Amino acid sequence: MTRTDVTRDRVKRALRAQRIETPSWAYANSGTRFKVFTQEGVPRDPYEKIADAAVVHRLTGIAPTVALHIPWDRVDDYTDLARHAADRGVTLGAINANVFQDDDYRLGSVTNPDPGVRRKAVDHLLECVDIMDRTGSRDLKLWFSDGTNYPGQDDIRARQDRLAVALRETYDRLGDNQRLLLEYKLFEPAFYATDVPDWGTAYAHCLELGPRARVVIDTGHHAPGTNIEFIVAFLLRAGRLGGFDFNSRFYADDDLMAGAADPFQLFRIMYEIVRGDALRAEAGIAFMLDQCHNVEAKIPAIIRSVLNVQEATAKALLVDADALAAAQQAGDVLGANAVLMDAYNSDVRPLLADLRTELGLDPDPMAAYARSGYFERIRAERVGGQQAGWGA
């Protein structure tokens, strides 16, 4: 075998083990605060969302789990929902709590000045852990919209105390194999002070909680120019990276397809993952998408996103680690940079097509979806009823 063959084999082996979780809400209607454009064939309940997710997995081969959002995906019988997923070849993934859509949460959920509202919010988080027990989910993903709009509106420090208390109660309710993933976001809907605005705040709370609390990086939740791969490297080194909500941003939390806005950034992130040997399932990093497809067709957009993450990963795996280490050690700035750029500039599409063929998949999942007739079927079948969306 030539050196190139050895590399291709190594890259393919690593890619075979890669898993990307798709979000149930990406299959549903979504929009901005100005307008939600509905689409034909959109799922009307969690069962139909899971059916769509199963199609994405069947075509890409690497998206076997689907994240749920509660209450959007509330059902009477979660065991039945898990069975429905299993029948279609997928399983239920992270449970996302939602404490941002109730009138009571106007001034916050777990950090609200009113103890009654805080109780209600924590009860919801505990309910999510009950659901995890049923679905077999490992991860509870928490994102809080909590914050204030005006200086003086509430006590910033007291809100940190309230947050810590809520997280503690939730963390203590987790089973031994369950984890709490804490997500941060710079701003929106709070415009002055967000209670979990950055990775440092999330990390500090996770440290206080215990080893099963980890930080989630939503790629859209940073200020422009933030070096996200630095955060990845730091948290991996500290053993506190829980996972990603992948999506693209041009301006703020745009939730566009992963890899669409800045494929080079996605490559740099995936390089740190490869560098930290964190692609393996045992590393416990949940690679999730968190996206909304407001104007484009949803299922193909999700397929495209999964493929974009896979493509960035393939390039990251191509980085010649020995050559890079040698250049770094020698202080060869330009040489080291060239090693990284060589990998980034490689066309990995033929390798990925080969890999899919080896796995018994169509080498072009986008074309395979278009040919499959699935959209025509759901468009005809899913008439009547209430389409799922952010309010559902």
Point out which residues bind ligand RM4 (CB under 6 A).
69, 96, 143, 183, 185, 218, 245, 253, 290
Nearer to ligand RM4, 189 or 200 (CB): 189
CB of 101 to ligand RM4, least distance (A): 9
Nearer to Mn ion, 60 or 145 (CB): 145
CB of 98 to ligand RM4, least distance (A): 7
Contacting residues for 283 by C-beta, under 8 A, at least 6 apart: 276, 277
Contacting residues for 35 by C-beta, under 8 A, at least 6 apart: none
For residues 26 and 293, is the Cβ–Cβ distance under 8 A? yes
CB of 224 to Mn ion, least distance (A): 18
**What gap in Å lies between CA 95 and CA 65, rounded to an integer?**
11
Nearer to Mn ion, 290 or 362 (CB): 290
CB of 183 to Mn ion, least distance (A): 5
Q: Is 139 in the site for Mn ion (CB under 5 A)?
A: no
Nearer to Mn ion, 241 or 317 (CB): 241
Rg (the chain; Cα; Å): 21
**What gap in Å lies between CA 176 and CA 301, rounded to an integer?**
36
Interacting residues with Mn ion between 200 and 229 (CB under 5 A): 218
For residues 96 and 141, is the Cβ–Cβ distance under 8 A? yes
Nearer to ligand RM4, 45 or 290 (CB): 290
String marking each residue 26-55 x if it binds Mn ion according to CB under 5 A: ------------------------------
Q: From the list 154, 255, 290, 311, which residue makes contact with Mn ion (rule: CB under 5 A)?
A: 290
Using CB distances below 5 to 8 A depending on partner kind, what does residue 146 bind out of Mn ion, ligand RM4, none? none
User: Which residue number places its CB atom closest to ligand RM4?
Assistant: 143
Nearer to Mn ion, 146 or 362 (CB): 146
String marking each residue 226-245 x if it binds Mn ion according to CB under 5 A: -------------------x
Using CB distances below 5 to 8 A depending on partner kind, what does residue 185 bind out of Mn ion, ligand RM4, none? ligand RM4
**What gap in Å lies between CA 341 and CA 5, rounded to an integer?**
20
Nearer to ligand RM4, 102 or 320 (CB): 102
CB of 107 to Mn ion, least distance (A): 22
CB of 221 to Mn ion, least distance (A): 7
State the residue for tokens 């064939």.
41
389 strand-pairing partners = 29
CB of 25 to ligand RM4, least distance (A): 6
Count of residues engaged in binding Mn ion, rule: CB under 5 A = 3
Nearer to Mn ion, 306 or 378 (CB): 306
For residues 355 and 12, is the Cβ–Cβ distance under 8 A? yes
CB of 246 to Mn ion, least distance (A): 9
Please give the residue ranges that form the binding site for Mn ion (CB under 5 A).
218, 245, 290
